[in-house]
Amino acid sequence: MDARLKNLDRAFNPRSIAFVGATEALNKWGFLILNNLLTGGYEGKVYPVNPGRETVLGLKAYPRVADIPDDVDLAIFTVPSGQVLEALQDCAARGVKAGLVITAGFRELGREGAAMEAEMVKKAREAGMLLIGPNCQGICCPASNLYPWMPILFHPPRGSVGFVSQSGNILNMLIGHVVTSGLGVSKAVSSGNEADLRTVDYLSYLAEDPETEVIAAYMEGVHDGREFLRRAREVTRRKPVVVLKGGRTSSGISAARSHTGAMAVSETLFEAACRQAGVMITRSIEECAVTAASFVSRPLPRGRRIGIVTGGGGLGVIASDFCTEIGLEVASLSPAVLSELERLLPDWWVPGNPVDLVAGLDFTVIKPVLETLMTCGEVDAVLFLWIGAPRNENQALKVERGMDISGVWDLMDRHFLEYSHELYEMMRRLEVPLYIATTLRPETRGEREADRRPIIFDSVESACRAVSAMAEYRAYLESPPGKG
C-alpha cells in the first residue's frame, strides 16, 4: 500500500482528533458532527478548536490547532472555506497526517473555489498530509466507534461491507439498505470533491482492510481512466466491488458537475472499462446495496444455470422471464431429477423448472426440494420465492361468520424466518448459493434484521440481479489476469 494511503489508518482509527469549527450552535454542522462523534462512543481524545469559546460540549476548547498540547492524528474541518487553508497550515506544522474537510464552497462553485481547493491540496501534500473531501459528509468506522459525519445519531453496526461515495446522502441510503439486510459496516467514506484522495485510492485501501469483504461505491466521475482501470483490476482480484454510477445522462452529468465538480465520462466507455476490470455496475441505490450484501452471505455460483422454486406459478413465470432477460439460464432438469421431485411433491404437480410447490403450506417439503436441486449438479444457484401476506394493519378485522384466523399468517411468517436459518445452513454445507425472495410484512422483516439473520431479498428482480452479478464475478476471477 502507498505510504500516504497508510495514513488513512489515522483517519479511521485515530487516537486523537482536532475539531476545527466546533460549536454549540444547534444549526451548525460543527455542532451536529461533533455531537455524533461524542455520542457514538469514540474513546480517543477530542480537542475542539474555536477561538471564541473556552469549552464546547463540556470539552476544553483551543483557539488554534497550534495550541493543542498533544499530538493529533486526525483534523476535522467545518469552518467556512475561506478559513480552511490557515487551519490546515497549522495542522501541517503540528505533523497532523490526516484531514477530513467537511466544508463546501470549493471546486463545485467555479474557478475561484477550484483555486482555493488546489492550494489546499498543495499545502497538504507538501506536509505529507492526506485530505478526505472537501464538500463531504464525513466518515465512519464502527470498529473504532468513530462517527464524525452528518447523519444525526446514525451509528450503524460493525460489519464487513465497505463504502465509498461521492454523495453523502447516497452513502446514507446505501448503508441503510445494507443494515436493514442484517449486515454491518467495516468503513465508510463520503469522498465529496475528491481533491486529494479519489475513489480508486479508497478502493485500494479497503482492499487491504481485513474487516472489509466487499466494497460498494457511488461515483460521479473518473479523474484518470487508465489509472482507475489498472488499480480497480488489482482490487477486484481480491474483493468484489459493486458500483452505482451517477451522471449517466446529459442532465445527470450537469447535476454532478454542480454537486462535486465531477468530470464527465462516457457512460459506454465507463461500463466497458468496469467490466474489463471486474467491477459490477448497478442501476439503483437498492440494487447496489443488496448486490454488495449478497457477497457476504453466500458462496459464488459456478455458472449461470438457475433453479427456481416458487410458492405459486405466476412468480415462476415472472422469474423465468427476468432471469432470461438478464442473461441467466433457467436450467433444464433431467428426467432423474424430475423423478426425485415427483416423489416429494403432490400428484398434481407439473414437472419442470420452475418448480411450483402448487400453493403447498408444508414446510417439511421445501427443504428436500431445495436440496434436490442444490445437489443434482444441473444448477449453479437456486432461487426460492415465498409469498408473504399483504394486509392492512390499520383495518380492524370484523368477523361476523366463521372463525378469526388472522394470526395464522403471522405464525407462518415467523415460522418461515426460523426456517430460513436451516436453509442457509444447508447452503453453507452444500456450497451452492441459495437466494430467498419474500414479501414478508415490514415489522416481521425488522425482527429478522434486528437478529442479524442472513439477507432475504424483497423482490424477484433484486435476487436475480444478485445471482447475475455473482456469476459474472466468478467468471472474472476464473479468467486470466488482464483478460477479465
- Which DSSP string do the residues of 459-476 spell out, in sequence order? SHHHHHHHHHHHHHHHHH
What is the third-level CATH fold of 298-394+405-478?
Rossmann fold (3.40.50)
pLDDT, average across residues 268-292: 90
Question: Does domain 1-144 match CATH 3.40.50.720?
Answer: yes
Range with the lowest mean pLDDT among 133-137, 417-421, 432-436?
417-421
CB 49 within 8 A of CB 62: yes
Report the length, in residues, of the chain: 484
Asked if the model's pLDDT at residue 190 lies above 50, the reply is: yes
Task: Give, in degrees to the nearest 5, the angle at Cα 451 between 447 and 456.
Answer: 70
| Listed ranges 8-22, 337-351, 438-452; the one with the highest mean pLDDT | 8-22
Looking at residue 102, its pLDDT comes to 98
Looking at residue 450, its pLDDT comes to 37
Task: In whole angstroms, give the CA distance from residue 375 to residue 340.
Answer: 12
Q: Is pLDDT larger for residue 349 or for residue 410? A: 349
pLDDT, average across residues 286-293: 93
Asked if the model's pLDDT at residue 350 lies above 80, the reply is: yes
Q: For the chain, give the percent of residues with pLDDT over 90.
A: 68
pLDDT, average across residues 178-192: 92
Read off the C-alpha cell for 393. Answer: 394493519
Q: Residue 304: pLDDT band by 50, 70, 90 thresholds?
A: very high
Q: Is pLDDT larger for residue 448 or for residue 74? A: 74
**What residues contact 177, with CB distance under 8 A and at least 6 apart?**
285, 286, 289, 290, 293
Terminal C-alpha separation, the chain: 23
pLDDT, average across residues 405-432: 76
Task: In whole angstroms, give the CA distance from residue 462 to residue 468.
Answer: 10
Asked if the model's pLDDT at residue 267 lies above 60, the reply is: yes
Looking at residue 51, its pLDDT comes to 97
* Mean pLDDT estimate for the chain: 88
Range with the lowest mean pLDDT among 112-121, 234-243, 432-441?
432-441
3-class DSSP state of 149: strand
Q: Residue 446: pLDDT band by 50, 70, 90 thresholds?
A: very low
pLDDT, average across residues 256-265: 52
Residue type, 233: R
Per domain, the residue ranges of the chain are 1-144, 156-297, 298-394+405-478
CATH for 156-297?
3.40.50.261
| pTM flag (> 0.85) | yes
Q: Give the pLDDT confidence of 103-129 residue by residue, as tens digits.
A: 999 998 999 999 999 999 999 999 999
Query: Are 156-297 and 298-394+405-478 the same fold in CATH?
Result: yes
Q: Give the pLDDT confidence of 369-412 residue by residue, as tens digits.
A: 999 999 999 999 999 997 665 555 544 555 556 555 566 556 66
Q: Residue 226: pLDDT band by 50, 70, 90 thresholds?
A: confident
Range with the lowest mean pLDDT among 247-261, 294-308, 339-353?
247-261
